[in-house]
Amino acid sequence: MPGTVLFSMLVAVFAGSAVPFQAASNAVLGKVLGHPLWATLVSLCISAALVLPTIWLMRAPAPLTAQLAHAPWWVWTGGIGGVIYISAALILTPRMGAASFIVCVVAGQMLSSMLIDHYGLMGLTPRPVHMGRIVGVLLILAGMGLVQWFTPSMPAAAENENATADHSGAQQGNPSLAHRAGAKSSTRS
């Protein structure tokens, strides 16, 4: 395996290792802000705040307006995927746990990636699906099932502890948690 391929794989693994932390921190942020969509917006704003100075430091040239006008319509859909992923992570990570959520994400990514590769969608070079790749995806799906099967569900006592933590956070002066604690107690009455 050439060194550049190995380096690329290591960078991809490093980037992937950040995703569960993103999902978990955004899930807590959603609770603090009172709604997952606010956390999605904050997360995307932080991303923009980080990428803008990076563009400036790397002296990336500004895009040409003429090129933007001739781009395929689907080049603008990447942001939609980001919102879908971040919102799903905010809602599902607390319910499923980080490992279960991420293994399902990876399974979904592999299935859609195989379709994109096989048909050369979105301007990529076609890479036909063959038995080795199918077996690899089946192993990922089996792994997803195993991780999910052996992940204990959140017992009712833990859910009550989360509600208590929200209520105690409200007592400590966090208005967002006060609102959530009040909403939870009113729905249980």
- Angle among Cα 96, 100, 103 to the nearest 5 degrees reads 145
140-174 pLDDT per residue, tens: 889 888 888 887 876 554 554 454 444 444 445 55
Report d(CA 175, CA 158) in Å as an integer: 23
Per-residue pLDDT at 61? 93
Beta-carbon count within 10 A of 21 CB: 10
Give the predicted TM-score (pTM) of the model.
Answer: 0.67
Task: Check: CB of residue 36 under 8 Å from CB of residue 91.
Answer: yes
Angle between helices 3-33 and 36-57 (to 10 degrees): 140
